[in-house]
Chains A and B, each alone.
Chain A
């Protein structure tokens, strides 16, 4: 391995055995042994992966859920061992697979600091020297002698993070640490990343977040079903990633031959069939990436398979990781209660516009056609299409309001009157 390489991964493969029913008792192990039916599926999580990370690089690993990202990271960290292949690490490596590893809810914050520090390789004396800085940075001085279980999750994350950033190592592994914490905490994270980028530390960063990947990483790899399908400059890697994500979404509605067959079978018991949900902008060009403030049109057609009167058509828009829909409408809500009579073979067309100023995020569309009363759903397609909004200057709330805020000072006298 040449000197400027921090991590070299050569032809690494990893297969998981997924037992149908885990042999966690001796009895089932014995029984299954005699049956010769080991009863597991093999899942190839990584298939012959090779790449190199140079020293001082901020290296991104991108991929959908289940593409093998976390497995790769855990193999790099030495938590899983690969079935075959070789990994050489040049320098001291600290895995931040997660923040607050080893935190014990029954111990005080103070005890947890020392325990966590020892996992990062610090002695008790070194921790004592750093202790005040850590507590100050986490902003929880008052709570240090309370048990961790009484901390809010935000406090726990702040504490874990302020210990973690003390870690001195040549290589850091970061796994979606940004997914936790509030806006203020994320800002701290970003500051820390910016510092890391300036320093000589090699960072391997696994994330879904396009923004932070693009901002910090120079190079990266794209994993799909355990294969590296793109590597190099992070921008080109992210472009390929978009293709996968979109190909997956369009695949569910686009390809006529593949999709048509199951549809035909299903059709018999569906009175209506939603054909394709599309999103497009003002210029009628189909797309699923929008700038903040841009008009977003959603439409679909549905095929009618038996005579219907006054069906209701509608859509629901979900934001990723938000429990309630951010927007929902249908013909009834829009005031079209009499949509008319339809005969077998007719088509309906439904179109709506996303209101207002929705802030950055990933969104999903559910579409449904139901009977006049709403009691019977003719067809329902969940996650029919995904789209993205970016470019808002206030990405922390769901929507931005154009209304002007009012701010005044109220004198005590005014209150009395």
Chain B
């Protein structure tokens, strides 16, 4: 199965599509690729000034600047990947109507360019951590797993959105609103500990993004990051986010597979 998925032809195609995406995205811009690093940094500066300097949201959390930047980078990755994937199938309608290639490659190719951006942004995080004398905990080896979790969740969502967008073009507007809401419902700007109600904290941590983000901050930046283990006191509820990732991946892939037969005629 995996052998067929990653046959030579599919790998070549995937690489070429990613390359094309890259070339197209930043052409005609003077700074070109630097923008994918500059954008999160500039957003970080704005949010840092507003929320940390004026509203003092992060007081009490050590290394709050790195904590905030890391949150923005992860969130940005999720937004970038889902937004790009959403329109990827429709955007590549010229291919889909004329040649048979595995449809999922198109979605995966737009996820790969988001993934590459994420890795570059993590380098920036590393630099900020070195400058701010932040030492990761000895659990830092879990970070790749947590990033994988975010990626898989985003992939499931992406499969669903891209297939649904073929039929219903309002999905893009709906998703924009969801993203906006998600930005505040996920503890990106504020430490989760500032939420007074324990029940609310629990509910918010059932969001796989919140859970992965909080745990990643825990292993990478500060043990003061509220993680499911401490909130749920070891009950099975703490696995809900993981289950949700599985559900998203399964539902997304299933729906995509079912719809992909008709992409050719529906686009």
Chain A interface residues toward B at CB < 8 A: 16, 23-27, 29, 74, 77-81, 95, 97-98, 101-102, 104, 106-107, 111, 114-115, 117-119, 121-124
Stretch at the interface among B61-69, B98-106, B146-154, B217-225: B98-106
Residue of chain B at shortest CB distance from A25:
B170
Q: Helix, strand, loop or mixed for chain B's interface?
A: helix
In whole Å, how far is A75's beta carbon from the nearest beta carbon of chain B?
10
Known A102-B95, A118-B16; contact A26-B262, beta-carbon cutoff 8 A: no
Known A81-B261, A102-B94, A107-B23; contact A115-B99, beta-carbon cutoff 8 A: no
Q: Does any Cβ of A come within 8 Å of B168's Cβ?
A: yes
Known A97-B99, A101-B95, A101-B98; contact A79-B264, beta-carbon cutoff 8 A: yes
A114 to B96, CA, bound (A): 18
Closest 8 pairs between A and B when the two form their complex, measured CB to CB: A118-B16, A78-B100, A79-B264, A81-B261, A101-B98, A121-B9, A123-B12, A97-B98
Q: Does any Cβ of A come within 8 Å of B251's Cβ?
A: no
The A-contacting residues of B in range 155-199, CB under 8 angstroms, are 167-171, 174
Q: Does any Cβ of A come within 8 Å of B8's Cβ?
A: yes
Name the interface size band of chain B. 20 to 34
Instruction: Check if A123 sits within 8 Å of B8, measured CB to CB.
Output: yes
List the A side residues contacting B174 at CB < 8 Å: 26
The A-contacting residues of B in range 215-262, CB under 8 angstroms, are 261-262
A121 to B100, CA, bound (A): 11
Instruction: Check if A24 sits within 8 Å of B167, measured CB to CB.
Output: yes
List the B side residues contacting A74 at CB < 8 Å: 264
Known A81-B261, A81-B262, A124-B12; contact A29-B168, beta-carbon cutoff 8 A: yes
A-B contact pairs, 10 of them (CB 8 A): A23-B167, A23-B168, A24-B167, A27-B170, A78-B100, A98-B98, A102-B94, A102-B95, A111-B20, A121-B12
Instruction: Check if A95 sits within 8 Å of B99, measured CB to CB.
Output: yes
Known A16-B265, A106-B27, A107-B23; contact A119-B95, beta-carbon cutoff 8 A: yes
In whole Å, how far is A50's beta carbon from the nearest beta carbon of chain B?
21
A78 to B99, CA, bound (A): 8
Residue of chain A at shortest CB distance from B99:
A101
Instruction: Check if A79 sits within 8 Å of B261, measured CB to CB.
Output: no
Which of B20, B95, B167, B261 gathers most chain A CB within 10 Å? B20
Q: Contacting A124 at CB < 8 Å: which of B15, B27, B96, B264? A: B15
Chain B interface residues toward A at CB < 8 A: 8-9, 12-13, 15-17, 19-20, 23-24, 27, 94-101, 167-171, 174, 261-262, 264-265
Q: Contacting A122 at CB < 8 Å: which of B12, B96, B99, B100? A: B12
Instruction: Check if B170 sits within 8 Å of A80, measured CB to CB.
Output: no
A29 to B169, CA, bound (A): 11
A207 to B211, CA, bound (A): 59
List the B side residues contacting A114 at CB < 8 Å: 16, 19
A121 to B11, CA, bound (A): 10
Q: Contacting A77 at CB < 8 Å: which of B13, B94, B99? A: B99
List the B side residues contacting A111 at CB < 8 Å: 19-20, 23
List the B side residues contacting A26 at CB < 8 Å: 168, 170-171, 174
In whole Å, how far is B237's beta carbon from the nearest beta carbon of chain A?
33
Residue of chain B at shortest CB distance from A119:
B99
A323 to B189, CA, bound (A): 64
A117 to B15, CA, bound (A): 12
List the B side residues contacting A106 at CB < 8 Å: 24, 27
A114 to B265, CA, bound (A): 27
Instruction: Check if B100 sits within 8 Å of A79, measured CB to CB.
Output: yes
In whole Å, how far is B83's beta carbon from the nearest beta carbon of chain A?
19
List the B side residues contacting A23 at CB < 8 Å: 167-168
Instruction: Check if B94 sits within 8 Å of A101, measured CB to CB.
Output: yes
List the A side residues contacting B8 at CB < 8 Å: 123
List the A side residues contacting B264 at CB < 8 Å: 74, 79-80
List the B side residues contacting A98 at CB < 8 Å: 98
